[in-house]
């Protein structure tokens, strides 16, 4: 089970004597199980290939054994082909049932229809095999310890929803003294992503970010997600205006002109960001924004930074041409769904499938937002994500991460180089220099919540 409890989506089947003969799982509006389990429940030969016409009782153990009659909706059975042992059943679901959702993880196929799970956990035939990271169904248990994978099940579930569920928040403003919802308040939710669009803090101070990111870590635990499934973008209150003013004064004292977009103003945010994500995602002086990629969900999120114009002297809002052009370049390489996350109701000139945004300076009410599914686009980057480290460039990236465990490593496959951001001893996050590795050569460089679809 995803968290040790019995989900309401898990069902069981019994024969005429009351003996349990197998299990199944509710996906969308149907129950999916093994066809031989249905045969056993109906008192038929388990190898019978003909589609049954009589109803079969479906039991919900998490609902005190409540049972509902169901009829076979689709019957995929071929003799001596274990992977072709799938039945989908139509029924009227009890109101308290929350359907499970499928995932298609990278697995080793046997004849394209069966997989061998990594563990050796005994499972009831037809019962769900859970993906421990996403809490989705990776397949159903077949015979001989194999699993019928999710992509095979999806062929028998034409209406299986591929919607993405996002928990969208903003405006906690830690340091303001405002009341904030506590992570346990969200414990009943099971989103695929948490998206936070700005104003995590009130003044952008390190102690406020410590509170804010601790809240996000506890929230991720409460909804059973890893930290990397939390998307965070800065808001105007996450800019440290004292640090910005100090930077201006230092540059002026040396007779220099401050350089936009004035990186030190994000110093405390960047330090807390790196501590939270490690090397998984980056927010750096040359790219103070983030592309959050989730190959297992078929989704990327453009984490936009609308605080580019903000200084200690004013609260402008905007993305800047360089950020827009960079995201256009990045999004062109992606397959699957594309989302954007930003503070402020901007007319973002990017082509994305769904937009998540919050209103600046207004504490927002958390919202659960369904993001409609779409057919994934086949791209080179998506293929790279699926096939793993099988190119020279991918091996360079992996070797760089091993060699520089404390650095932020950002691959740039389209330009064939890897950016490495690593502070010198004694430097702070606001003054850390950067370096770029172009295929082996290193050179130094100067230092209210809403969601909407559409293109």
Query: What local confidence, expressed as pLDDT, does residue 387 receive?
Result: 35
**Which position has the token pair 């937009």?**
355
Q: Is 10-155 assigned to CATH 2.40.10.120?
A: yes
- At 383-433, the pLDDT tens digits run 333 333 334 455 566 556 555 666 666 766 655 556 666 554 444 443 333
**Which position has the token pair 């153990």?**
61
Average the pLDDT over each of 32-46, 123-137, 251-265, 361-375 and give the range with the smallest value: 361-375
Q: What is the percentage of the chain residues whose pLDDT exceeds 70?
A: 73
The count of residues in the chain is: 455
Is the model more confident about 341 or about 455?
341
Of residues 338, 275, 341, the one with CA closest to residue 305: 341
Give strand ranges (E) for 127-260.
128-130, 137-141, 147-149, 164-169, 193-197, 230-233
Residues of the chain with CATH 3.60.21.10: 164-380
* Degrees to nearest 5, angle at CA 189 with 283 and 208: 40
| H helix or E strand, kind and range, residue 448 | none
Instruction: Tell me how far apart the alpha carbons of residues 188 and 82 are, in angstroms, rounded to a whole number.
Output: 36
Query: What local confidence, expressed as pLDDT, does residue 7 receive?
Result: 86
Q: Answer for the pair 141, 149: CB distance below 8 angstroms, yes or no.
A: no
Residues of the chain with CATH 2.40.10.120: 10-155
Return the CATH number of the domain spanning residue range 164-380: 3.60.21.10
Sheet order of strands, 337-343 included? 290-294, 299-303, 337-343, 354-358, 450-453
Is the model more confident about 360 or about 45?
45
Instruction: Tell me how far apart the alpha carbons of residues 304 and 148 are, in angstroms, rounded to a whole number.
Output: 39
């Amino acid at each position: 089970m995803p968290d040790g409890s019995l989900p309401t989506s898990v069902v069981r089947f019994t024969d005429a004597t009351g003996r349990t003969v197998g299990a199944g799982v509710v996906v969308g509006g149907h129950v999916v199980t093994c066809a031989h389990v249905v045969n056993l429940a109906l008192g038929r030969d388990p190898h019978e290939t003909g589609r049954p016409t009589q109803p079969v009782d479906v039991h919900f153990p998490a609902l005190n054994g409540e049972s509902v009659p169901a009829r076979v909706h689709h019957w995929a059975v071929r003799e001596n082909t274990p992977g072709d042992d799938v039945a989908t059943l139509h029924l009227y679901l009890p109101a308290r049932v929350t359907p499970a959702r499928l995932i298609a993880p990278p697995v080793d196929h046997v004849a394209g229809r069966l997989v061998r799970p990594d563990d050796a956990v005994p499972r009831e035939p037809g019962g769900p095999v859970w993906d421990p990271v996403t809490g989705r169904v990776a397949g159903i248990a077949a015979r001989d310890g194999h699993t019928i994978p999710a992509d095979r099940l999806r062929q028998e579930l034409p209406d299986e929803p591929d919607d993405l569920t996002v928990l969208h928040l903003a405006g906690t403003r830690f340091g303001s003294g405002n009341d904030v919802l506590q992570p346990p308040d969200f414990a009943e939710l099971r989103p695929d992503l948490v998206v936070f669009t700005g104003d995590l803090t009130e003044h952008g101070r390190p102690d406020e970010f410590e509170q804010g990111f601790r809240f996000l870590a506890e929230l991720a635990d409460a909804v059973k997600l890893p930290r990397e499934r939390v998307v965070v973008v800065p808001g105007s209150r996450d800019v440290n205006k004292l640090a910005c003013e100090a930077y201006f004064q230092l540059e002026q004292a040396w007779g220099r002109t401050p350089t936009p977009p004035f990186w030190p103003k994000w110093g405390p945010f960047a330090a807390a960001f790196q501590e939270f994500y490690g090397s998984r995602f980056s927010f750096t002086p040359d790219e103070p924004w983030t592309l959050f990629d989730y190959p297992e969900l078929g989704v990327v999120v453009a984490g936009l930074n609308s605080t580019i114009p903000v200084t200690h002297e004013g609260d402008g809002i905007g993305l800047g041409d360089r950020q827009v052009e960079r995201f256009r370049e990045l999004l062109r390489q992606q397959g699957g769904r594309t989302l954007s996350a930003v503070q402020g109701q901007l007319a973002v000139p990017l082509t994305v499938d769904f937009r998540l945004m919050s209103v600046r300076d207004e504490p927002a009410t958390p919202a659960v937002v369904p993001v409609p599914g779409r057919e994934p686009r086949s791209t080179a980057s998506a293929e790279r994500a699926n096939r793993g480290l099988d190119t020279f460039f991918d091996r360079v990236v992996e070797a760089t991460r091993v060699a520089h465990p404390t650095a932020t490593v950002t691959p740039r496959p389209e330009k064939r180089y890897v950016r490495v951001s690593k502070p010198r001893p004694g430097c702070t996050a606001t003054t850390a220099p950067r370096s770029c590795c172009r295929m082996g050569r290193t050179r130094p460089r100067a230092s209210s919540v809403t969601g909407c679809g559409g293109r």
